[in-house]
Structure 1
Amino acid sequence: MTTSPALLLMIGAAGVPFLKGRLRGAWTVLLPVAALVLLWLLPEGPGDSLTLFGLELTPVRVDALSRIFATGFLVAALLTAVYALCLKDALQQTVILLYAGATVGGALAGDLITLFVFWELGGLASAFLIWARRTERGYRAGMRYLVAQLLAGLLMLAGIAQRVQAGAGVEFGHLGLDGPGGPLILAAVGIKCAFPLLHAWLTDTYPEATVVGTVALSPFTTKLAVYVLARGFPGTEALVWIGAAMTVFPIFYAVLENDLRRVLAYSLVNQLGFMVVGVGVGGSLGINGATAHAFAHIIYKGLLFMSMGAVLYRTGTVKGSELGGLYKSMPRTAALCMVGAASISAVPLFSGFTTKSMILYAVAQEHRTVVWLLLLFASAGVFHHAGIKVPYFAFFAHDRGLRVREAPGTMRVAMTMAAALCVAIGVAPGLLYDFLPYTVDYSAYTTAHVINQLQLLLLASLAFTSLVRTGLYPPEVRSVNLDVDVVYRRALPAAWRRLSEAVPRAGTRVVTPLRQRAVALWGTAVRSSAGGGFTAPWSTHSMVLWAVALVGAVLFLALL
């Protein structure tokens, strides 16, 4: 029987609440390490299969694509476990392992039923990372998050049911929009991948999680959705334009946003857009680019969320309007945050440069000029808001006189590990390229590419500096910027309140007269029955006539 690394994590998580102190911490760190070793010991190919209700299930299927994504998830689990060592909250440490295990299980699933089970387990477990903040805002955000996860699950289940009904089976391979259930499954993935208009759950809920919770939420759900796209919908033309839109629109919200974790949530959507474009382009270069960028993003976005989590842990806030000057008391955190900022901005010698460029090159090879220009604009935008704005307003701008202790040692260790991986992938991209699904025939470090990227970064830096110095840059003010979530956070509650107020008024104006008329009609019917009317016996020919008329009407409607 093939042993899944996912089960190792999830079964091991059950023992976390029963351990104390350093023993618990060591256990939470060793489990991802053991799962990584087990993953790389598994042979390629489908594992043992089983039959359930006449459907053949393959709980474990290992190939290059599933292995690299599962590796990224386990690395994220390890970094998050180390980062969370300073906590004494067994609930969060347990949920992190369950969540990571469910995501790894989804990446290794060889059939859609197994994928669905792990898909839902991950969604349910991750909601507790928001509720663990134990605030009213956190509770409401967690409920909204759970609704989004359950809706995605229902759509996927409906898509799977359509495939089974059509006799297409439950094998998890290429699905496509033309296949049975394909559109429903793509809609489910679109929710979890934060497609435009379906993204608000992410930017709404991630910043409301705990210090560690947001770090744990960042790598798993959305990257599993990218994996499902890469496995089931490679080369889908619609994904190119969906991804291009995802890269562009978050930039404008991020510039206006005051909450720096929400800024990073918008930049997360932006980076997902690059991956979706890579999947949409398809081919070996597109899939390699999407996979490599997903792996790098897991690490550098985790590093950025870790640094902002450390700021929140020490100061109690991540509002840009309340921060500044923290480099004086948190210099190591500031330096590590800069590594994450350089990575997401695709600065040469950092991980984002060697992965994002592969997607841009794949788009250029397809001669998609408009999409390439949109991605170029988006690259400058993400440098503007995630590469500059986040570290600038947190650590340098407007010294508020905050003097706090440096981040706890375990947090700094996790951030240092992530930063080292960002630099390693940037300096020696072959460390990642060698494990991608297809053989890589691409070099990021060409003279033209390096010069073009440096020019782009320089111009974006000049634009930011000019806007700040001239006072034209949107100021960091206390505010809550609503996105598409205004529909369900403001519009629908307001409509419900108005409807609740209108119903009683309608009752007095409409229901009372209707009741009076009904009573009058009933009295008329009773009086008529006493003298015959409708209650009198009908002749046979009248009954036949009415029966024929009714049957004819039914047949006429059926023909229509």
Structure 2
Amino acid sequence: MTELVIHPGLVLIVGALLLPLLRGTLRSIAVVALPLLVLALVWQVPDGPAWQLRFLDYTITPLQGDKLSRLFATIFSLMAAGGGLFALSQKSRIEVPAAFVYAGSAIGVALAGDLVTVFAFWELMAIGSTLVLWSQGTDESYRAAQRYLMIHLLGGVLLFAGVTGHIVQTGDVAFTRMVLDSPAHWLILMGFLVNAGAPPLSAWLPDAYPQASWSGTVFLSAFTTKTAVYVLIRGFPGTELLIWVGLFMAFYGIVYGLLENDIRRILAYTIVNQGGLMMVGVGIGTEMALNGAAAQAFAGVIYVALLLMSAGSVMLMTGRRKCSELGGLFRTMPLTATCAMVGALSISAFPLTSGFVSKSMVSQAALNGHLLPVWLLLVAASAGALLHAGIKYPWFVFFQKDSGLRPAEPPASMRWAMVAFAFLCIALGVWPEPLYALLPFAVNYVPYTGAHVLTQLQLLLFSGLAFFMLLPYLKRTLTITLDTDWIWRRLLPALQLNVGLPLVNTWHRLMRGLLDVGSEVLTVVMHQHRQDGRFARTWSTRSMALWVLVLLLGYLILYYV
């Protein structure tokens, strides 16, 4: 093991465990400075294995660097810093330390060189994110944390089984590209897809994330799904199945986002939608497509977090989270509204924003690969993202009908976090070269061409026109959207109550009956073996001889008959 290289993820995890010991200004400084220190450490990790050790006759590589891992570790560190700044006024003493454990584990996955380390940090990530949910302290968040943990433990079991099978099959623990040629690799892929929010378990994300606090959802939006994108890029590039899974996720997020009334559930479905677009890039598997998936993951962490920061600010200052209860907030929250619009333009891939220079790479890769149906569906998904996240969310919350609410802007730390992320959205859109330099492959792509800008502006214009034409059908209503989480929230508990409990009670009655019969038989047997019992008596030789004669006679009859 090389002692000179410090593991950035472990630094963040250890620092998170020490945060509860700090108070006041010192704690606030540590919350922001610790992730920035980790960011510096990320860039100290060299290419290739930095830590190696022997474990059960295998070579484990807990720390390994390359361009792809450095890209994801960088954005995870930036997200921890921005999320920490946003959460400085959070009263919960558990949330930020849990979020830093969560972020440090995501960095650990990104810098892992073997499947054993990936699994260890993967499970620690599930624990940290569950604690972020639980720290909200409400009954709803506690139940949501239970459901969330249940789904992710299922994903962990699938991943563990797959990793174990892979090691037995190949004798190697290195985390490299895999193909779907064995049950073990299918199990690994399914474990990854659970965290990615793929069907049929996509609903865990909009079920759980909106139940976190106003700052907790910001942390949750960044790490689980983007870590899944990273491991898919690393482990399953070019797997065609991911194209169709990703397209399903993209349209699933759009449809449910348009139906939703809760502002944070709208944005939760946006995370599913954006993850699907990244997965399409992984499935295409060319260098441009993988660059596009990685670039979109980097930019997506920022603009989705920015949108959720604005939603968290609204929730904190108004105490409300339904579109039907909000509107006209731009009058007293102009900065929050402006930052929300920057995030909305970015997720819509508007020119001069980060979404424009990242999302189009996947579409271009589909076009270059002569995948015309995929390209058409990606264009349609891009238009849909504008409808539900780019227009619906800011329109209903900050504009349209006045709700009569006059909340003030959120605290200064929250405003600074939103401004910083809004600046990054615009800066990366205006000057994409630093982002392109981080990508795993050489970039031969120019986003600002006349044809591309004109095409995107036309798409955005007609999508916006369609939204306002359909506005009467999208009016705010108090609705509850049924999703596949109905299976484990309603169906399974109902089956347990109406089928499982009667079966259990019947089984218990049967077992009690058997025990009663067994007890009676045992009593009879013990009675016969007492000192004065039948089997404890002394039998005469004449009686024994008679019984032997009877047995022999019976045997002879059976033998000859």
TM-score under structure 2 length normalisation? 0.90
Instruction: Tell me what 2:239 maps to.
Output: 236
> Over aligned residue pairs, what C-alpha RMSD do you find?
2.9
Instruction: Tell me what 2:352 maps to.
Output: 349
Could you tell me which amino acid in structure 2 is paired with residue 34 of structure 1? L
Whether contact under 8 Å (1:102, 1:122) holds in the other structure is: yes
SS of the residue corresponding to residue 482 of structure 1 reads coil
Q: Does 1:476 align with 2:479?
A: no
Instruction: Tell me what 1:245 maps to.
Output: 248
2 CA distance for matches of 1:514 and 1:129?
48
What's the offset of the Cα at 1:515? 11
Q: 164, 174, 179: which one pairs with 2:177?
A: 174
Query: 1:420-435 residue pairs with structure 2 within 5 A?
Result: 420-435=423-438
What's the offset of the Cα at 1:512? 11
Q: Does 1:70 align with 2:46?
A: no
Q: 98, 101, 106: which one pairs with 1:103?
A: 106
| More displaced stretch, 507-516 vs 128-137 | 507-516
Query: 1:429-508 residue pairs with structure 2 within 5 A?
Result: 429-468=432-471, 471-473=472-474, 475-500=475-500, 502-503=502-503
Q: Does 1:5 align with 2:5?
A: no
1 CA distance for matches of 2:333 and 2:173?
52
Q: Aligned pair in 2 of structure 1 residues 447, 51: CA closer, same or farther (>3 Å)?
A: same
What's the offset of the Cα at 1:151? 1.1
2 CA distance for matches of 1:85 and 1:502?
50
What's the offset of the Cα at 1:186? 0.2
What's the offset of the Cα at 1:374? 1.2
Could you tell me which amino acid in structure 1 is paired with residue 489 of structure 2? R
Q: Does 1:135 align with 2:138?
A: yes
SS of the residue corresponding to residue 54 of structure 2 reads strand
Could you tell me which amino acid in structure 1 is paired with residue 297 of structure 2? A
Whether contact under 8 Å (1:166, 1:180) holds in the other structure is: no
Whether contact under 8 Å (1:168, 1:180) holds in the other structure is: no
Instruction: Tell me what 2:36 maps to.
Output: 33
Could you tell me which amino acid in structure 1 is paired with residue 31 of structure 2? T
SS of the residue corresponding to residue 494 of structure 2 reads helix
SS of the residue corresponding to residue 483 of structure 1 reads coil
1 CA distance for matches of 2:231 and 2:508?
54
Give the number of aligned pairs.
Answer: 535
Q: 158, 164, 185: which one pairs with 1:161?
A: 164
SS of the residue corresponding to residue 51 of structure 2 reads coil
Q: Does 1:295 align with 2:319?
A: no
What's the offset of the Cα at 1:391? 0.5
What's the offset of the Cα at 1:41? 2.0
Q: Aligned pair in 2 of structure 1 residues 367, 15: CA closer, same or farther (>3 Å)?
A: same
- What do residues 430-478 of structure 1 show as CA deviations (whole Å, max 9, x unaligned)? 120011101100111111111111111111111111112xx222x3222
Q: Aligned pair in 2 of structure 1 residues 57, 477: CA closer, same or farther (>3 Å)?
A: same
1 CA distance for matches of 2:114 and 2:508?
57
SS of the residue corresponding to residue 153 of structure 1 reads helix
Whether contact under 8 Å (2:45, 2:64) holds in the other structure is: no
Q: Does 1:17 align with 2:23?
A: no
Instruction: Tell me what 2:216 maps to.
Output: 213
| More displaced stretch, 363-372 vs 497-506 | 497-506
Q: Aligned pair in 2 of structure 1 residues 419, 122: CA closer, same or farther (>3 Å)?
A: same
SS of the residue corresponding to residue 94 of structure 2 reads helix
SS of the residue corresponding to residue 407 of structure 1 reads coil
- What do residues 286-312 of structure 1 show as CA deviations (whole Å, max 9, x unaligned)? 110000000000000000000000001
TM-score under structure 1 length normalisation? 0.90
What's the offset of the Cα at 1:501? 6.3
2 CA distance for matches of 1:67 and 1:232?
16
What's the offset of the Cα at 1:540? 12
Instruction: Tell me what 1:556 maps to.
Output: none
Q: Name structure 2 gaps, 5 residues minimum.
A: 523-534, 536-546
1 CA distance for matches of 2:503 and 2:155?
33
Instruction: Tell me what 1:400 maps to.
Output: 403
2 CA distance for matches of 1:407 and 1:392?
20
Q: Aligned pair in 2 of structure 1 residues 45, 405: CA closer, same or farther (>3 Å)?
A: same
- What do residues 142-167 of structure 1 show as CA deviations (whole Å, max 9, x unaligned)? 00111111111111111111112113
2 CA distance for matches of 1:303 and 1:294?
14
Q: 32, 46, 59: which one pairs with 1:56?
A: 59
Q: Aligned pair in 2 of structure 1 residues 539, 144: CA closer, same or farther (>3 Å)?
A: farther
What's the offset of the Cα at 1:7? 1.2
Could you tell me which amino acid in structure 2 is paired with residue 483 of structure 1? D
2 CA distance for matches of 1:135 and 1:434?
44
Could you tell me which amino acid in structure 2 is paired with residue 493 of structure 1? P
- What do residues 104-154 of structure 1 show as CA deviations (whole Å, max 9, x unaligned)? 011000011111111110110110111111111111000011111111111
SS of the residue corresponding to residue 51 of structure 1 reads strand
Instruction: Tell me what 1:552 maps to.
Output: none
Query: 1:260-279 residue pairs with structure 2 within 5 A?
Result: 260-279=263-282
Q: Aligned pair in 2 of structure 1 residues 541, 18: CA closer, same or farther (>3 Å)?
A: farther
2 CA distance for matches of 1:414 and 1:507?
58
SS of the residue corresponding to residue 441 of structure 2 reads coil
Q: 82, 86, 89: which one pairs with 1:86?
A: 89
Q: Aligned pair in 2 of structure 1 residues 166, 405: CA closer, same or farther (>3 Å)?
A: same
1 CA distance for matches of 2:65 and 2:508?
66
What's the offset of the Cα at 1:511? 9.8
SS of the residue corresponding to residue 50 of structure 1 reads strand
Aligned-pair identity in percent equals 46
Could you tell me which amino acid in structure 2 is paired with residue 167 of structure 1? T
| More displaced stretch, 42-51 vs 417-426 | 42-51
Instruction: Tell me what 2:541 maps to.
Output: none
Whether contact under 8 Å (2:292, 2:359) holds in the other structure is: yes
Whether contact under 8 Å (1:281, 1:363) holds in the other structure is: yes
Could you tell me which amino acid in structure 1 is paired with residue 473 of structure 2? L
| More displaced stretch, 205-214 vs 367-376 | 367-376
2 CA distance for matches of 1:161 and 1:508?
37
What's the offset of the Cα at 1:414? 0.4
1 CA distance for matches of 2:53 and 2:450?
53
User: Which is higher, the Rg of structure 1 or of structure 2?
Assistant: 2
SS of the residue corresponding to residue 61 of structure 1 reads strand
What's the offset of the Cα at 1:480? 2.3
Instruction: Tell me what 1:306 maps to.
Output: 309
Q: Aligned pair in 2 of structure 1 residues 45, 322: CA closer, same or farther (>3 Å)?
A: same
Instruction: Tell me what 1:417 maps to.
Output: 420
- What do residues 358-394 of structure 1 show as CA deviations (whole Å, max 9, x unaligned)? 0000011111111111111111111000000111111
